[in-house]
Amino acid sequence: MPSISRQKRASVLLILFMTLFFPTVSYARDIKGITSTQLKEIIKSKSDKVVAVIFWETQCKVCQEHLSVLNDIYKEHRKENLEILGVVLDEAGKETKDLVETKGVAFPIFKAGDREEMSYIYKISKVPTIYYYKNGELEYHKEEGYAEPDHIDKDIHKLLGKS
């Protein structure tokens, strides 16, 4: 029976270590287009979870701050039926991918394929805008523009039943 070389064994252990201790995956390489209809379908399909959807733009500094806040919340609560989706409303080119990668965003980021329709359907008048869903339905409100990080955290905790 052939033995595994030390180098192969070390590679396997390194991969195992990274998987266990660095489970966060960045979705920067996977920014796919999404329509408002597809977004509604995704939200409905996650009816067993609390879903937060952030609509944002790459150059928006407040949006970048909210991405970081939501990313921290997601990392802490993703195993507790929390899903966060990001929908970038601008071009989602290299600059957007670099931003998502740099921030280590662990939740999926999509590019609005129908920006005008999406803005109309979701009544987006400024960014960032965050919607909260529970049981596949809009729960109780949306955040527009700057929201205190503690406020976002409290909203999600409330929806998760962790007052």
Residue 147: inside a domain: yes
Residue 42: inside a domain: yes
Residue 16: inside a domain: no
DSSP string over 1-27 = -PPPPHHHHHHHHHHHHHHHH------
pLDDT averaged over the chain? 85
The pLDDT assigned to 110 comes to 95
Residue 85: inside a domain: yes
Average pLDDT over residues 113-124: 90
State the total domains in the chain. 1
Residue 91: inside a domain: yes
Taking only the tens place, the pLDDT of each residue in 29-72 is 568 999 999 999 999 999 999 999 999 999 999 999 999 999 99
Residue 15: inside a domain: no
Segments forming the whole domain that contains residue 128: 25-159
The pLDDT assigned to 25 comes to 47
- CATH number for the domain harbouring residue 123: 3.40.30.10
Coil, strand or helix: which one is 101? helix
- Fill in the amino acid letter for 143: E
Residue 3: inside a domain: no
pLDDT at 18 over 70: no
Residue 72: inside a domain: yes
* Residue 14 Cα distances to 3, 10, 27, 68, 104, angstroms: 18, 6, 22, 28, 20
**Confidence bin at 10 (pLDDT 50/70/90):** low
Model pTM score: 0.80
pLDDT at 8 over 50: yes
Question: Percent of the chain at pLDDT above 70?
Answer: 81
